[in-house]
Amino acid sequence: MTHMAVAGIQMHIGMRSNLAEMERRLDLLMYLYPWVEMVVFSELAADGPSPASAQPVGGPNELAFAKMARKHKLWLVAGSYFEKRDGAIYNTTPVLNPEGEIVTRYRKMFPFAPYEDATAPGDEFCVFDVPDVGRFGVSICYDLWFPEVTRTLTSMGAEVILNPVLAHFVDRPADLAIARATGAMFQCYVFHINGLLAGGNGYSQVIDPMGQVLHDGSTQDELIPIEVDFGLVRRQRERGIKNMGQPLKSFRDSKMRFGVYGPEFDRSYLDSLGPLQRPGRANAEPAVAPEPQPAPLQSPAAPEAGAGEPPANRPALTEDL
């Protein structure tokens, strides 16, 4: 078997528990598309982007996810939720099999600093196999901006990157460009699934191993079923994108070792960029205009002789004008 039907769910997310709505959307998806075998929700779909909702593994969120997976007998990548663990908070994606068992968890490596300053970064890459089908890798939102993450996942054999997203900033077009480039650079499918309202501004995309957009989302609720062709991934990696570029093999065969990753690399330029912090106004201390002062009082001067008389060449104003 070299095909698998994977669906993304783009839905409105509130700053509250969204579990009941997630289940309703999943029920609708499976009613309309009963052939779907895996479902991906958006980042922080369970409770919205509120670290106050953090809970330990095995808590109410994961119990609800297990129920959904068992009910429909499908693989479930349940977006993510804030996990409370060892005194820290992580942005965690659980992956469940059709029996409702958690087969792996992924913790976001690159929180969107400095805005996501309440969460700690994870440090383990995440790939998992669907038996007799193929290998999947998981990253979360901003992780996709760091090609080292996808490079590692695809070098571990990932053929599909599942990338739950919560994105609603003005740099959203850059997100989409990176998602598309990732498919071509790493010859993989990319499921870049965003939410709405508190969960993002939509525009979910699915990219194929040639960098072609299979689904270009809107700003409305969407159900996005896509049939993944693992044979296509393997053929592209073996023969090249449209029988041309073979970037994974080229990277494998290169003798280049990139010094920027080593401890001896001169980081003086990077350090010169300053601290990672929220930008302020371009003019941090705008000039303050002086308060207007009243003009000094002056006694009216006596009119000069002839003042008030019209010039000789202009008629005097009258009430008839």
The pLDDT of residue 267 is 94
The pLDDT of residue 318 is 39
Share the mean pLDDT of the chain.
91
pLDDT exceeds cutoff 80 at 294: no
Asked whether residue 278 is domain-assigned, the answer is: no
Asked whether residue 189 is domain-assigned, the answer is: yes
Residue 132's domain comprises 3-261
Asked whether residue 319 is domain-assigned, the answer is: no
Q: How confident is the model at residue 300 (pLDDT cuts 50, 70, 90)?
A: low
CATH number of the structural domain spanning residue 62: 3.60.110.10
The pLDDT of residue 301 is 53
Asked whether residue 128 is domain-assigned, the answer is: yes
Asked whether residue 279 is domain-assigned, the answer is: no
Q: How confident is the model at residue 292 (pLDDT cuts 50, 70, 90)?
A: low
Domain count, the chain: 1
Joined tokens for residue 279: 């930008």
Per the listing, tokens 């982007």 go with 49
The pLDDT of residue 281 is 87
The secondary structure element, H or E, covering residue 215 is strand 213-216
pLDDT, tens digit, 9 for 90 and up, residues 99-112: 999 999 999 999 99
Out of 27-36, 144-153, 283-292, which region has the weakest mean confidence (pLDDT)? 283-292
pTM of the model: 0.86
Contact criterion met (CB below 8 Å) for 19 and 57: no
Joined tokens for residue 201: 């501004």
pLDDT exceeds cutoff 80 at 54: yes
Asked whether residue 20 is domain-assigned, the answer is: yes
Out of 5-19, 32-46, 270-284, which region has the weakest mean confidence (pLDDT)? 270-284
The pLDDT of residue 231 is 97
Bond from prior residue into 114 cis (ω within 30 degrees of 0): yes
Mean pLDDT for 250-269 is 94
pLDDT exceeds cutoff 60 at 91: yes
Q: How confident is the model at residue 282 (pLDDT cuts 50, 70, 90)?
A: confident
pLDDT, tens digit, 9 for 90 and up, residues 193-223: 999 999 999 999 999 999 999 999 999 999 9
pLDDT exceeds cutoff 50 at 172: yes
Residues 6+ apart with CB under 8 A from 1: 132, 133
Cα–Cα distance between 176 and 181 in angstroms, integer?
Answer: 9
> How far out from the chain centre does Cα 309 lie?
77
Out of 39-48, 141-150, 287-296, which region has the weakest mean confidence (pLDDT)? 287-296
CA dihedral 228, 231, 234, 238 (to 10 degrees): -140
Mean pLDDT for 23-52 is 98
Asked whether residue 321 is domain-assigned, the answer is: no
pLDDT exceeds cutoff 50 at 316: no
Cα–Cα distance between 186 and 248 in angstroms, integer?
Answer: 7
Asked whether residue 170 is domain-assigned, the answer is: yes
